[in-house]
Amino acid sequence: MKRNLIIFLILGLVAGGIYGVLGVLRDSAAQKGGELPTDTAERRDLKSIVPATGEVLPLLSSVVKSEISGRITEIKIEEGDSVTRGQMLLELDRTSLETRLREAQRNLEAERLRLDKSERNYVRLQELYAKQFVGEKEYLDAQTDLNLAKLNLEIAQARLEDAAEDLSKTTINAPHDGVVTRLDVLEGAVISGATSVSNGTDLLTIAQLDELYMEANINEVDVEKLYVGQSAFLRFDAIPDFEVEGTISVIAPSARKDGNVRVFPIEVVFEVVDNRVRPGISATVEVPIESAENVVSILLSAVFNNKEQSSIYVRKDAGWERREVTVGINNLQHVEIRSGLEEGEDVALSRPPEFRKTDG
């Protein structure tokens, strides 16, 4: 019984091997006999497009900073909140600035009193000088004291206005309408103000999300086919089966170098009709250049170019026939055949063996 089982297993392995060899021989014979991958000419509507990829960005976005340094005492918004222009966002500690303002107010009052005193003294000495009861020096000194008092009053007034302005800067307001897309600070944090020598602390970012744009790079060959105001269609990697129409708003007047390729940045503006479209996501844009309706077309891989001529290989009886064709527009998948091919004919997607030496 055991011997019979071993014999049965050996026969099975031999039969499997023979079947595999026959399959390889059959496939090889089929390849030699002309069974190449093919495509059938059909009538289609085609659109020639210029494609590009890029990133979605807000048309208007602001990084909010403080003009003064201080400690945050209260934050009145959260990420994702909608805000309006002038709305209070957060507040800094006011204690030291309120003290400075009171000091400036008292100093201003003191300078007013000094000015009053100087004016009275000047008027008195002016009368005495006119009657020649005092000398010219006393009179001129009184005039100088009066002018200095006036200057000191102006300086005190400027310092008061400066203190009041700094106090008003403890309230950070929204620069424009939008949505808080990022909040970078917490209550109690000490921040630095933006000055001529310091960038200051980034507090939050506000962006308008009802209208966005996509920035993309177009090669120098295709950019000549584009113009401002042209329609474009955007798709998003993160949102399958969704498309939105936009408009080219900017085409860079000069090229930039991207590796070894020269490209022209463009901007495509579009309205947000789906909240899933957000700044930062990647997108693909397609700009239609030409269109053709109900034209004979085949897969691009069926067209072979040689010496500025386009040719295809059409099935004829048991073999293949080489034909020169006139091609039209393509949509990066199918290409229009304007002459040399009829609807319903089969074409080879790779060069038949009998033409590989002569046409290769």
Residues 106 and 219 occupy one common structural domain: no
pLDDT tens for each residue of 69-123:
999 999 999 999 999 999 999 999 999 999 999 999 999 999 999 999 999 999 9
Nearest to 171 by CA among 209, 126, 215, 203: 203
**pLDDT: is 23 or 293 the higher one?**
293
Q: What is the value of pTM for the model shown?
A: 0.66
Q: Residue 3's pLDDT is what?
A: 47
Element (H, E) at 262: strand 261-271
User: Of 120, 143, 169, which marks where a domain is finished?
Assistant: 169
Question: What's the pLDDT at 360?
Answer: 65
Q: For 75, which DSSP code?
A: E
My answer on whether 88 and 174 are in the same domain is yes
For residue 285, is it within any domain? yes
Range of the domain at 266: 50-59+208-289
Residue 87: give its domain's CATH number: 2.40.50.100
The CATH number covering residue 144 comes to 1.10.287
**Burial (0-12, 13-18, 19+ Cβ within 10 Å), 203:** buried
Name the percent of the chain lying above pLDDT 90. Answer: 75
Would 27 be classed as within a structural domain? no
* pLDDT at 338 > cutoff 60: yes
Q: Which of 141, 169, 197 is a domain's end point? A: 169
Q: Select from 292, 227, 308 the least CA-distant residue to 264.
A: 227
Q: Which CATH number fits the domain that encloses residue 220?
A: 2.40.30.170
In the predicted model, what is the mean pLDDT of residues 38-48?
93
**Residue pLDDT, tens place only, 242-273:** 999 999 999 999 999 888 888 999 999 999 98
92 CB neighbour count, 10 Å cutoff: 21
- Give the total number of structural domains in the chain: 3
Question: What is the dihedral angle through the alpha carbons of 16, 20, 23, 29, rounded to the nearest 10 degrees?
Answer: -130
